[in-house]
Amino acid sequence: MTIEEATRVVVNKEGDLVSAHNFFVLQKAKLDKYFTEFLDSNEKEMSEDNYDSPAWKQYRVMLKDYETVEKFITTSKYYITKHV
């Protein structure tokens, strides 16, 4: 299930909020692992002198996904504790 598919599930079925929340928690764990490996392997390419390198561009793309996942986890946790 992709992030977009999980978001559609939440929009279409409120009862499936817990499973969508669990999906995003798993996605966050995968992104955490990705960032650790990415930063370890691309440390030299990501100098502060060159923010336009391909490594920095990839990092920013993945960071946007990470922020989206974080927002959903926070929001879904609120609704689960208040309404489910």
CA distances from 57 to 29, 52, 53, 62, 71 (A): 21, 7, 6, 9, 22
Cα angle: 54, vertex 3, 81; to 5 degrees: 130
Q: Please tell me which residue, 17 or 36, carries the higher pLDDT value.
A: 36
pLDDT for position 41: 93
d(CA 10, CA 24): 11
pLDDT digits (tens, 9 = 90+) for 22-63: 888 999 999 999 999 999 999 888 888 888 889 999 999 999
pTM of the model: 0.74
Type of residue at 21: H
